[in-house]
Amino acid sequence: MSAARAPALRDARVGDLLPAPVRAATAPLDADLSNLFDAERSAVERAIPRRQREFASGRRCARTLLAELGHPPVAIPRSADRTPAWPAGIVGSISHCDDLCFVAVAPVSALAGLGVDVEPDQPLETALWRRICTPDELAGVVAARPTALRGHTVRLLFSAKEAFYKSVFPLLREVLGFQAVEIDVDWATGRFRCGVDEALRARLPGGRTPEGRFLHRDGWVFTAATLSATPLEARSS
Ligand X SMILES: CC(C)(COP(=O)(O)OP(=O)(O)OC[C@H]1O[C@@H](n2cnc3c(N)ncnc32)[C@H](O)[C@@H]1OP(=O)(O)O)[C@@H](O)C(=O)NCCC(=O)NCCS
Q: Which is nearer to ligand X, 55 or 192 (CB)?
A: 55
Span of 91-99, 106-114, 133-141, 213-221 interacting with ligand X by CB under 6 A: 91-99
DSSP one-letter code for 10? -
CA dist., res. 92 & res. 84, Å (int): 8
Size (the chain), residues: 237
Binding segment for ligand X (CB under 6 A), chosen from 2-10, 15-23, 89-97, 209-217, is 89-97
Question: Counting contacts by CB under 6 A, is residue 210 touching ligand X?
Answer: no
CA distances from 157 to 36, 53, 124, 134, 185 (A): 33, 27, 10, 10, 8
Quick one: how far is CA 161 from the chain centroid? 10
Query: How many residues bind ligand X, per CB under 6 A?
Result: 23
Distance of CA 41 to the CA centre of its chain: 22
Nearer to ligand X, 153 or 236 (CB): 153
Report the alpha-carbon distance of residue 67 to residue 48 in Å, rounded: 29
Binding string, 36-75, against ligand X, x = CB under 6 A? ------------------xx--x-----------------
Question: Residue 83 interacts with ligand X (CB under 6 A)?
Answer: yes
Of the residues 162, 192, 210, 227, which one makes contact with ligand X according to CB under 6 A: 162
Rounded Cα distance between 105 and 43, Å, is: 21
**Minimum distance, C-beta of residue 115 to ligand X, in the bound complex (Å):** 6
Contact 213, 104 (CB under 8 A): no
In the complex, what is the shortest distance from the CB of residue 171 to ligand X, in angstroms, rounded to a whole number? 10
CB of 55 to ligand X, least distance (A): 4
Computed on alpha carbons and rounded to an integer, the radius of gyration of the chain in Å comes to 18
Q: Which residues bind ligand X (CB under 6 A)?
A: 54-55, 58, 78, 81-84, 94-96, 117, 161-162, 164-166, 169, 175-176, 178, 180-181
